[in-house]
Amino acid sequence: MQDVASTSKPTSQRDLRKIFERSMASEEGNFYLSGPSYLTPIDWNNSHHRKSIAASLVQGVYTLECDRKQNRQGPQALAPAWFPYPYPNYIGQGPPRYVIAFRGATNKSANRTQDYKLNLQFIVNNLEKSRRFQAGMEAVTNIVHEANGPGNAWLAGHSTGSSIALLIGRNMVKMGIHLDTYLFNPPFASPIELIKNDKLKHGLRLAKSVLTAGLAIAANGGHWPTPHENDPFIMLSRWIPYLFVNPTDPICSEYVGYFEQREKMEKMGAGKIGKISTQHSIGSSIVSSARGKDSEPIHLLPSAYLTINLSPSEGFKEAHGIHQWWKPNLQFNYKLYQHK
């Protein structure tokens, strides 16, 4: 059937349709509707500004994937606005030369199989076998070499992408390279953090720590694990990534208790048990025994600049979302946890 009506319309009608389709695209993917456009100029000495830029670059990776899947090109593409930040004026030392950012799951049908496979590899503590990690590790190694030092490169990630960035950052530390790393809502799930009763929560964590330490000792032939110079926990202790969690997000909320519990157990005089349980997890101890080799838990993180979002969140999507981290009125607690 011939489309006579469409051929009789002026060419501008097609452009109007494309503009309409772009306006109907997700507001979250449009920098000018939801991005941190208020940062004028950017103060690179300001931790909130650096956090906002790192988070918006991760959003750019999400939007880039949506552009690719929806075939948005040229002026219809939404991703470019997130990358070359439109406000070149800045204060301080200026931006890094490179930022390697990793997205999490997109919840789109075209990506669902790949994202589910990646999430499964995370669950079984086998993320280092994923193609996304391997490609990222190769890219980061090459970029750090090209940048003439780690100070010119950042790592950033959200959700499962944070786990990849964390794993790459840890591997770089073992090579003697410490990268500035921004981890948004990294997975470390536990129902304990959602309990409102503080005493019950502390009691459950204490019991979990004792159980975890017991499993670690059992996996070590019944002996207390002794630290050595190649101990990953010791090697990682001087690397301090930036960690951003929302206590109402069940995917990442356990990081709050992870650091607070270690501090509480030191005050109780149970620091040795706390240290062992922090270095291990019940899952990793079981996996280690099954594999017959050490298996570092993906959440292993001795030190961090922990930022906890205290602003109210309307549901899981907002609590786990990347957009919360560049809001200008963000209410948060910020604390350095450093293993000594």
Q: What is the pLDDT along the chain (340 residues), one digit of tens a residue?
A: 333 333 334 445 555 444 444 444 468 899 989 999 888 888 888 999 999 999 999 999 999 999 998 899 999 999 999 986 655 677 777 788 899 999 998 766 556 677 767 777 777 677 888 888 999 999 999 999 887 777 789 999 999 999 999 999 999 998 999 999 999 999 987 777 677 787 887 788 778 777 877 777 787 777 777 766 667 778 888 899 999 999 999 999 889 888 888 777 777 766 677 667 766 654 443 444 444 445 577 778 889 999 999 999 999 999 999 999 999 989 999 999 987 7
pLDDT at position 16 is 45
Query: Is 6 within a domain?
Result: no
Q: What domain range includes position 227?
A: 188-312
Residue 93 makes CB contacts below 8 A (sequence gap 6+) with 44, 45
Query: Is 215 within a domain?
Result: yes
Total domains in the fold of the chain:
1
Query: Is 218 within a domain?
Result: yes
pLDDT at position 122 is 74
Using CA atoms in the order 43, 48, 54, 60, what is the torsion angle rounded to 10 degrees? Answer: -90
d(CA 179, CA 158): 17
pLDDT at position 283 is 45
pLDDT at position 72 is 92
Query: Is 287 within a domain?
Result: yes
Residue 187 makes CB contacts below 8 A (sequence gap 6+) with 122, 159, 160, 162, 163, 251, 252, 298, 299
Residue 288: phi, psi to the nearest 5? -60, -45
CA-based nearest residue to 32, from 102, 103, 101, 86: 86
Query: Is 227 within a domain?
Result: yes
Task: Name the residue type at position 289.
Answer: S
d(CA 42, CA 53): 9
Q: What is the DSSP secondary-structure string of 163-216?
A: HHHHHHHHHHHHTT---EEEEES-----GGGG-S-HHHHHHHHHHHHHHHHHHH
Mapped onto helix, strand or coil, the DSSP state of residue 334 is: strand
d(CA 30, CA 224): 53
Query: Is 99 within a domain?
Result: no
Mapped onto helix, strand or coil, the DSSP state of residue 155 is: strand
pLDDT at position 15 is 55
pLDDT at position 4 is 31
Task: Name the residue type at position 278.
Answer: T
d(CA 250, CA 265): 23
pLDDT at position 179 is 95
Task: Name the residue type at position 189.
Answer: A
pLDDT at position 5 is 34
Query: Is 143 within a domain?
Result: no
Query: Is 200 within a domain?
Result: yes
pLDDT at position 109 is 58
Kindly give the residue spans of alpha helices, DSSP state H, lying in 24-85: 31-34, 47-69
